[in-house]
Amino acid sequence: MAGIAVREALRTYLFATLIPMDRSAWPSDDANLFDAGMDSLRLMQLLVFAEEKWKMKLPDHEVTPERVESINALVAWFECHHNR
């Protein structure tokens, strides 16, 4: 699970599928995703996508605002669970 590939896959899924916007408007990796249009339904869709794509289990009790607020936070959290 390479960080750059994970980031690009998350960006593409988020901003081409879940929160569609022009690529030039995609927020930075530190930007708050909820300010960009993320909501609880989209978050659940994103977590299912990640679990299926990278074959990992993300425990529900670990879903906190700090872990899901940005691309950087998500990548760090996902990397903790990859290959567990």
Domains of the chain: 3-81 (1.10.1200.10)
User: Which tens digits make up the pLDDT trace of 1-59?
Assistant: 567 888 999 999 999 999 999 999 999 999 999 999 999 999 999 999 999 999 999 99
Dihedral sign for Cα 67, 19, 84, 75, please.
negative
Burial class (CB in 10 A: 0-12, 13-18, 19+), 74: buried
Task: Give residue 32's pLDDT.
Answer: 98
Q: Is the pLDDT of residue 81 over 90?
A: no
Q: Are 69 and 30 in contact (CB under 8 A)?
A: no
The answer on pLDDT for 73 being more than 90 is yes
pLDDT band at 83 (very low <50, low <70, confident <90, very high): low
Whole-prediction pTM: 0.90
